[in-house]
C-alpha cells in the first residue's frame, strides 16, 4: 500500500462508498447515533478529554440505543494516552454471581443457560468501567458528562429508523419480563420511527450515579433495588456480587499485518481471533486476488475457521484458565495452521491447534481529542436489549452475558462463580512505527473479529480509504465451533452481503461452500484515522446504521 493515506488519489471515493470521509484538525467523534456524536463534540469543546466525550456518548447511547447497550451491560476499551505515549486496555466485564453454579442448573434440570429471563444475568460492568476510565483520563466532572443524557431522558428524543426496527424486535421476546413494558412501552407499544421517546426512570438513575459515583450503582440504592428485583423474580444476581465487582486494566496484545500493528484485548474476549485470522492471511498475496474474488473469500473463510476452532477450545477468563495467547497469535503458529487450508476446497471440519456465539447487539464508538488522545470503546447488553429483566423503576435492562457459559465442566469456558464469561465485544487499535494510527471497531457477535480483519485487509491490501473500508460488502461465516462447547453445521454457512457477483457465488459453491442469506448480520463500524504528518483526523461511520462521524 502507498505510504500516503489510502484513497488519496480518488475523488468522491470508490463506487461502493456511501460518502466521503469526515476530516477535522482538532477532534473527532464517531458513534452509532448522531445525537451521541454531537454530545461527544460538545464535551470536547467544553474542555473534556476523549475519554470524557466517550463516556458522555456511551451514556447517551444507553438511552437512545438501548437495543445495543446500556448500564446493565459490560464494557471494554483501548486508550491511547498521548502525554505518556502509552496504550492501555480496560476489561470492564462482570462476573458470574456466587449463586450461579453448574450444580444449580443440574438440580433444576436445565441443560443450558437460557438466553433470556433472570438466569443468564451476570454482574454489569459498564458503570465501573466509566469510573475507571474517568479516574485515569477524565477532566470534567461526571455530573457534566451525564447531564446531556439526563436532559434527553426527561425531555425526549426522536427515535431513529434502525432503533425503531430493533425496538419492535426486542418487544416480541422481552415484553413479558417484569419492568420492561413500564419502561419501554408506557403507552402499550414500542416507540416508532420519528416518535419522541422519554425514559425518566433512567434520568433518575443517571442522576444517582452522577451524585453518588460508582458506589451508588454497586453498593448504594441502585444495587439494593437490583438485589430485591432479582430475588423476587428468580434471578441469581445479588447485592454482594455487585459490591465485589471491579474492572481490570490489561495490556493490549498485538500482531503486525504488513507493517500495521493491530492491537486487541486478551481473553476473556475474542479479539485475538482477529489477529489469528490476519496472521494466516499475511502468508498470501491478498492484493493480487482482488477484493470480492472467490479466491480471496475462500481464503478468508478458511482462515476464519482455523481461528474460531481455537476460540472454541482456548478462549476464557484467564483468571480461571491458562490461555496460550502468545502462541496463538505468533507468526510461527500461523504458518503451521496455514498448511491446513486447501486452496481448492472448503473444509468441513478443522482441528483446534495444540499447545455459540453467533449474535449479539452492541454499540461501538471512538473519540479523539485535540491533544492526540484516542479511545476505542465498545459496550453491550449482549443479545438485543439483554435478558429482558428491567429492575424496578431504574430504566434499564440487565445483560444476559452468562448465556455464553458452558455447563460442561471440562470446557475452558465452563461456568464458575466469579468467573467472567467468554465475551464477543472487542475494541481495536492500530499503530505504525510506535505511533497511533487508527482507532476502530465493528459490532455484531461473532462477526466482530471477522469484521476487524476485513477492515484491515480492505485498507492495507485493497487500498481503500477509511469510509470505503467500512462500506465495502462483507463476509460473515457462521458455523464454527462455539465457546459453549457445541458444534455447528459441518463447514458452516458463508453469508455474503449484496455487492458480490453471481459468478463469485457460483465459484464458491464449486469449492464446497454453502451460501446463506445476504441480509443482516454484518455488523456496525466506526473508525478514526490519525494523519500525523498533516495533523488531522479522518472519521468514518457505518452506512448500515444511524451513526455519524463528525469533528471540529
Catalytic residues: 362
Helices (H), 221-291: 221-232, 239-243, 271-281, 286-289
Q: Say if residues 263 and 78 touch (Cβ distance below 8 Å).
A: yes
- List, in sequence order, every residue forming a beta bridge with 428; answer none if it has no partner: 440
Cα atoms found within 13 Å of the Cα of residue 18, Cβ hemisphere only: 18
Q: Is the dihedral of CA 106, 111, 115, 116 positive or negative?
A: negative
Other residues' Cβ atoms within 10 Å of the Cβ of residue 259: 9
Q: What residues contact 220, with CB distance under 8 A and at least 6 apart?
A: 208, 212
Strands (E), 11-71: 22-24, 28-31
Residue 327 contacts residue 355 (beta carbons within 8 Å): yes
| Grid coordinates belonging to 478 | 457462521
DSSP run (H or E) holding 256: strand 253-257
The whole-angstrom separation of Cα 8 and Cα 535 is 16
End-to-end CA, the chain: 29
Rounded to the nearest angstrom, the gap between the alpha carbon of residue 421 and the centroid of all alpha carbons in its chain is 15
Q: Does an H or E element contain 56, and which? A: helix 50-64
328, 312 contact by CB (below 8 A): no
CB atoms within 10 A of CB 431: 18
As a whole number of Å, the CA-based R_g of the chain is: 22
Provide the angle, in degrees to the nearest 10, between the axes of the packed helices 142-155 and 126-137.
140
> CA-CA distance, 544 to 470, in Å (whole number)?
9
Amino acid at each position: 500500500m502507498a505510504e500516503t493515506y489510502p484513497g488519496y488519489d480518488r475523488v468522491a471515493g470508490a463506487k461502493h462508498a456511501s460518502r466521503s470521509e469526515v476530516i477535522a484538525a482538532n477532534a473527532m467523534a464517531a458513534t452509532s447515533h448522531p445525537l451521541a456524536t454531537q454530545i461527544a463534540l460538545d464535551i470536547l469543546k467544553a474542555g473534556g478529554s476523549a475519554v470524557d466525550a466517550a463516556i458522555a456518548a456511551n451514556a447517551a447511547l444507553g438511552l437512545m440505543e438501548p437495543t445495543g447497550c446500556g448500564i446493565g451491560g459490560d464494557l471494554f476499551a483501548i486508550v491511547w494516552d498521548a502525554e505518556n505515549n502509552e496504550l492501555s486496555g480496560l476489561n470492564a466485564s462482570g462476573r458470574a454471581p456466587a449463586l450461579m453454579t453448574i450444580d444449580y442448573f443440574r438440580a433444576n434440570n436445565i441443560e443450558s443457560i437460557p438466553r433470556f429471563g433472570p438466569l443468564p444475568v451476570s454482574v454489569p460492568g459498564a458503570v465501573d468501567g466509566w469510573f475507571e476510565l474517568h479516574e485515569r483520563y477524565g477532566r470534567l466532572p461526571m455530573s457534566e458528562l451525564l447531564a446531556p443524557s439526563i436532559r434527553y431522558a426527561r425531555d425526549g428524543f426522536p427515535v431513529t429508523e434502525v432503533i425503531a426496527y430493533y425496538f419492535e424486535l426486542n418487544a416480541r421476546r422481552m415484553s413479558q419480563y417484569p419492568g420492561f413494558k413500564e419502561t419501554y412501552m408506557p403507552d402499550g407499544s414500542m416507540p416508532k420511527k420519528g416518535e419522541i421517546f422519554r425514559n425518566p426512570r433512567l434520568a433518575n438513575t443517571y442522576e444517582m450515579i452522577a451524585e453518588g459515583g460508582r458506589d451508588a450503582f454497586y453498593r448504594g440504592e441502585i444495587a439494593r433495588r437490583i438485589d430485591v428485583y432479582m430475588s423476587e423474580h428468580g434471578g441469581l444476581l445479588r447485592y454482594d456480587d455487585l459490591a465485589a465487582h471491579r474492572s481490570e486494566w490489561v495490556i493490549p496484545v498485538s500482531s503486525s499485518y504488513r507493517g500495521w500493528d493491530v492491537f486487541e484485548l486478551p481473553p476473556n474476549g475474542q479479539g485475538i481471533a482477529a489477529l489469528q485470522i490476519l496472521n494466516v492471511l499475511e502468508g498470501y498475496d491478498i492484493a493480487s486476488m482482488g477484493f470480492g474474488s472467490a479466491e480471496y473469500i475462500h481464503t478468508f473463510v478458511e482462515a476464519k475457521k482455523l481461528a474460531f476452532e481455537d476460540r472454541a477450545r482456548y478462549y476464557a477468563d484467564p483468571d480461571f484458565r491458562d490461555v496460550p495467547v502468545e502462541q496463538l497469535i505468533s507468526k510461527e503458529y500461523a504458518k503451521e495452521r496455514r498448511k491446513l487450508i486447501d486452496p481448492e476446497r472448503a473444509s468441513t471440519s478443522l482441528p483446534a491447534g495444540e499447545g455459540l456465539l453467533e449474535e449479539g447487539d452492541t454499540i461501538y464508538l471512538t473519540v479523539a481529542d485535540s491533544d492526540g488522545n484516542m479511545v476505542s470503546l465498545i459496550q453491550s447488553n449482549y443479545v438485543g436489549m439483554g435478558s429482558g429483566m428491567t429492575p424496578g423503576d431504574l430504566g434499564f435492562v440487565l445483560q444476559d452475558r452468562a448465556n455464553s457459559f458452558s455447563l460442561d465442566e471440562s470446557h475452558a469456558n465452563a461456568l464458575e462463580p466469579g468467573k467472567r464469561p467468554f465475551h464477543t465485544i472487542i475494541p481495536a487499535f492500530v499503530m505504525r512505527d510506535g505511533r497511533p494510527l487508527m482507532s476502530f471497531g465493528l459490532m455484531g457477535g461473532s462477526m466482530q473479529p471477522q469484521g476487524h480483519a476485513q477492515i484491515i485487509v480492505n485498507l492495507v491490501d485493497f487500498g481503500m480509504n477509511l469510509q470505503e473500508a467500512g462500506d465495502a460488502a462483507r463476509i460473515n461465516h457462521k458455523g464454527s465451533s462455539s465457546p459453549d462447547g457445541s458444534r455447528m453445521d459441518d463447514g458452516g454457512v458463508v453469508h455474503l452481503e449484496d455487492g458480490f457477483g453471481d459468478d463469485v457465488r457460483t465459484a464458491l459453491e464449486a469449492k464446497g461452500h454453502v451460501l446463506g442469506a445476504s441480509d443482516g448480520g454484518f455488523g456496525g463500524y466506526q473508525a478514526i484515522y490519525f494523519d500525523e504528518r498533516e495533523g488531522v483526523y479522518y472519521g468514518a461511520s457505518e452506512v448500515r446504521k444511524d451513526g455519524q462521524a463528525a469533528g471540529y
